[in-house]
Chains A and B, each alone.
Chain A
Amino acid sequence: MIRAPVLVVALLLALAPQLVLADEMIVSGLSQNRVSITADFDGSEILIYGAVKRDAPAPGDSPLEVIITVEGPASPVMVRRKDRVAGIWVNNAAVRIDSAPSFYAVATTGPLNHILSDTDNLRFGITIERVIRAVGIAAEADDAGEFILALLRVRTDEDRFRILEGRVELTEDTLFRTDVVLPANLTEGEYKVRLFLLRDQKVVAHQERVIGVRKVGLERFVFKLAHERPLVYGLLSLVLAALAGWGASAAFRLFRA
């Protein structure tokens, strides 16, 4: 019966490099992993919480930091700029951006430029500038960079892009939590939640989870009908309108009589 311990030791040796990398791991939870868009949907608040699991005491040299991102479904976008042409303001220059998320929130325990190195930001794509994909836009307009800035500005104003620095609460270097408010003008799809643990500006552990956002009930029915059976939908809208018009007229006659 000497083989079992040997096997365990061999296994441990084989796993050793990974263990060194992942000596701090994330255990996380979401207050809800599904958001339903109903007729009275007015935004939703998601609680993202978790703990750091360690096999050894925490390395005491540098403080632990946490970054949590929530990313909505991405799509290509057109950014247009108005210019004054013949006295009026018209859309003139346009830049196509390959992919930009419909929603993006970054919550952190501290200022991003203090806790995250540029290399790891690039590697993991953490800040919004690193998530937007815009390849070869320089060829489309002289000042393509301005268009990216404009996209960030417009979506930030719409509450679609958010930087929540210092909004992750970290207790005893172990427990963390944050709230992310999903706005009312939410797009359907899979929302990716990513959690990062950082030390010394480097990502030491990360995890990914998914929140499904779906229209339900009446919203789902109307949306599906409009897209899958557009003709039926169009005719149904007419019937409803005609009935409402007739009903109003009939009700008014009754009212007067």
Chain B
Amino acid sequence: MQLYLPIAEVSVNAFLILGLGGIVGFMSGMFGVGGGFLITPLLFFIGVPPAVAVATGANQVVASSVSGVLAQLRRKGVDFQMGGVLLAGGIAGSAIGVWLFNWMKALGQVDLFVQLSYVLFLGLIGAMMLQESLRTLLRSRQTNAPIRRSHVHSWVHGLPFKMKFRASGLYISVIPPLIVGALVGVLAAIMGVGGGFIMVPAMIYLLGMPTKVVIGTSLFQIIFVTAFTTVMHAVTSQTVDMLLALLLILGGVIGAQIGTRVGMRLKAEQLRILLSLLVLSVSIRIALDLLMKPDELYSVAGGVLP
């Protein structure tokens, strides 16, 4: 069934979009990430203009995060205090990101900018995650492995403006969470992602938060950052396609339910290795596009869309 998207101004196969949403929902249900880093490149791939893909991707992440937070809320997995601090940073970061995005669009470099961000961040996070989870997997096989402490004190704990985070059981400075939040906000705006893939490791390794509150808190703040990003894109460039978002969400919802079930059957380390491989392969795929000579060197921008 062909469907004409009113904002993207392309005709797409509705089942294809539902399927894409489903695949991404499956991933996000399995790994507990928003899946924005997958949806946006996939949308590029089927011919949705990059600006529309990024803005609509952000809108889709809102839906999947709301669904995720509600589930986490019931098992008390959300630290609202930490979420609030991350959010304050996130909103500032998002505003900067949207501004950067529009500036790059005016320069005609938005594609490159988005692609480079993907290669850099996905490559970095993917490699780190793979290395870490492989190490854990190897260590768990050794019988006399040293016991790892839940969190170690580092330079992060020496910073001023300390605050108590009850749900996380932490007493740390607000500066690191603010910076992490801001960084994720920038990424959300320019990549159309929630930033869970960067937020989750940052919370565990940088802030030393307990794993049980990490996903819920990350999702909680992602809702607001992506919501803010969506509205900013809608207002500044009119690139949010409601119809496209609804189809993606519908597919995503179904996929997420299946993904969660599959995810429950796998071990945490196995899941993390799979996720890191997925993140790495997306990064490599986009890097290849940049490195190889394109078939058509010229591109045309005109009409209503950049």
Asked if A138 lies at the interface with its beta carbon under 8 angstroms from chain B, I say no
Whether A91 and B111, one on each chain, are in contact in the complex, defined by CB atoms closer than 8 angstroms, is yes
Q: Which residue of A lies closest to B293 (CB)?
A: A89
Whether B7 and A91, one on each chain, are in contact in the complex, defined by CB atoms closer than 8 angstroms, is no
A227 CB contacts on chain B under 8 angstroms: 238
Would you call the interface of chain B mostly helix, strand, loop, or mixed?
helix
Whether B257 and A41, one on each chain, are in contact in the complex, defined by CB atoms closer than 8 angstroms, is no
Contact flags A45-75 to B (C-beta < 8 A → 1, else 0): 0000000000000000000000000000001
Asked if B65 lies at the interface with its beta carbon under 8 angstroms from chain A, I say yes
In the bound assembly, the distance between CA atoms of A88 and B232 in angstroms comes to 31
Whether A245 and B64, one on each chain, are in contact in the complex, defined by CB atoms closer than 8 angstroms, is yes
Contact flags A87-118 to B (C-beta < 8 A → 1, else 0): 11111001000001010000000000000000
Whether B302 and A91, one on each chain, are in contact in the complex, defined by CB atoms closer than 8 angstroms, is no
Least distance between A73 CB and chain B CB atoms (Å): 8
Contact partner, A82, options B230, B249, B297, Cβ 8 Å: B297
Asked if B227 lies at the interface with its beta carbon under 8 angstroms from chain A, I say yes
B304 CB contacts on chain A under 8 angstroms: 75, 187
B63 CB contacts on chain A under 8 angstroms: 241-242, 244-245, 248
Whether A154 and B234, one on each chain, are in contact in the complex, defined by CB atoms closer than 8 angstroms, is no
Whether B291 and A226, one on each chain, are in contact in the complex, defined by CB atoms closer than 8 angstroms, is no
B169 CB contacts on chain A under 8 angstroms: none
Asked if A199 lies at the interface with its beta carbon under 8 angstroms from chain B, I say no
Asked if A163 lies at the interface with its beta carbon under 8 angstroms from chain B, I say no
Asked if B303 lies at the interface with its beta carbon under 8 angstroms from chain A, I say yes
In the bound assembly, the distance between CA atoms of A100 and B303 in angstroms comes to 9
Interface centre among A81, A146, A234 (most CB of B within 10 A): A234
Whether A231 and B301, one on each chain, are in contact in the complex, defined by CB atoms closer than 8 angstroms, is no
Contact flags B108-145 to A (C-beta < 8 A → 1, else 0): 11011000000000000000000000000000000000
- Interchain pairs with CB closer than 8 A, number: 193
In the bound assembly, the distance between CA atoms of A230 and B234 in angstroms comes to 6
Binds B, one of A17-25, A123-131, A202-210, A215-223: A215-223
Contact partner, A184, options B10, B233, B257, B301, Cβ 8 Å: B10
Asked if B207 lies at the interface with its beta carbon under 8 angstroms from chain A, I say no
Whether B300 and A249, one on each chain, are in contact in the complex, defined by CB atoms closer than 8 angstroms, is no
B234 CB contacts on chain A under 8 angstroms: 226, 230-231, 233-234, 237
Asked if A142 lies at the interface with its beta carbon under 8 angstroms from chain B, I say no
List residues of B (249-306) whose CB comes within 8 Å of A's CBs.
249-250, 253, 256-257, 290-294, 296-304
Asked if A150 lies at the interface with its beta carbon under 8 angstroms from chain B, I say yes
A154 CB contacts on chain B under 8 angstroms: 296, 298-300
Beyond A185-B9, A187-B9, A244-B246, is A147–B298 a contact (Cβ under 8 Å)? yes
Contact partner, B242, options A91, A215, A233, Cβ 8 Å: A233
Asked if B66 lies at the interface with its beta carbon under 8 angstroms from chain A, I say yes
Number of A residues, CB within 8 Å of B: 65
Whether A222 and B7, one on each chain, are in contact in the complex, defined by CB atoms closer than 8 angstroms, is yes
Contact partner, A222, options B66, B109, B232, B242, Cβ 8 Å: B242
Contact partner, A153, options B109, B235, B298, Cβ 8 Å: B298
Contact flags B3-34 to A (C-beta < 8 A → 1, else 0): 11011011100000000000000000000000
Contact flags B44-77 to A (C-beta < 8 A → 1, else 0): 0000000000000001101111111011000000
Whether B3 and A226, one on each chain, are in contact in the complex, defined by CB atoms closer than 8 angstroms, is no
B111 CB contacts on chain A under 8 angstroms: 91
Whether B249 and A241, one on each chain, are in contact in the complex, defined by CB atoms closer than 8 angstroms, is yes
Q: Which residue of A lies closest to B233 (CB)?
A: A234
A154-B298, A218-B243, A226-B234 known, 15 other contacts, Cβ within 8 Å: A75-B303, A81-B298, A82-B297, A88-B112, A147-B298, A230-B235, A231-B235, A234-B230, A234-B235, A238-B227, A241-B230, A242-B62, A242-B63, A242-B66, A246-B66
